[in-house]
Structure 1
Amino acid sequence: MASPSKPQKIYDVFLSFRGVDLRNNFIGHLYQALHQIGIYTFRDSEELKKGDQISPVLMKAIEESYIAIIVFSMNYASSMWCLEEVAKIIECKEQKNLTVLPVFYKVDPREVRGVRKSYQRALAKHESKFGKDSEKVKRWKEALSNAGNLSGWHLNDG
């Protein structure tokens, strides 16, 4: 009996980050460092347009990665793209054994897992758009809580 085929892993690492916060500094350096040591990394190369549907390409790239590095920053939760990514990453962690490595860049891990401060404000805006009992927003909050509870790196400066 043939075994069901597993999705093939293409990327070593998938980077999830808020472009306006990090694209031209921390992420640029991290991507270069990974690339220089031969780690094949997926990084979206262009800003995603507001109002567009989440790209199936991004979701597929998450599924086709061994590791996801989520770089949480102050404005991460203001992006529906980022929230969809973190929800998919947590889903793949639970269902496909994706390794998830969080980096808390100038944000306290408690803000992420507890949806506090900038994360609370961003989710409140999403709730006003989608409704307080929106399944989408509930899924995002749960994903943030799960990711925020993972052991990772807390970077403030440097």
Structure 2
Amino acid sequence: MEDIRAIMRKLSMALNNIDEIYYTDVAKMGLGKSLLWLLYALDNGEAHSQREICAQWGFPKSTLNSTIKQAEAKGYLTLTPIPGKRREMSIHLTAAGEAYAHAVLAPIYEAENKALAETVAVYSPEFIEALVYFNGRLKAAFAEQIAASQKVLDKS
């Protein structure tokens, strides 16, 4: 088995290359990556808050906020106050936003379906659960290591 550093480098490169595939191809469609992921996040028929999207999709708050404003100006989404939440808004695709999202996302979904079907034919679908698990473990390990290194730096 390869050493941990080599495995981690291979995984990091694969993940970065996956991101690059999305960004390169959506640029060919004239779509920015932030709008792509916002449409992707909202394309499940449910309303979401900005806080939920940031937490689930790893969006920087300021990037998401400006992307939401641009999409709202184009008529792709509406914002409605969430009862009991002082400043939090519920984000919904409009009919025009749904039509645009479906047009933009259809070829992406087709490519994902093809690639995933080919992958699970060779590897178990459990590789996704393993990746989700790794994501959680990496987040926890980073928090632990950053906290420990901060203590060392604070003493310096």
Would you say same fold, with TM above 0.5? no
Greater per-residue strand proportion = 1
- Higher Cα radius of gyration: 2
What's the TM-score once normalised by structure 2's chain length? 0.28
Larger relative contact order (Cα-Cα within 8 Å, sequence gap ≥ 6):
1
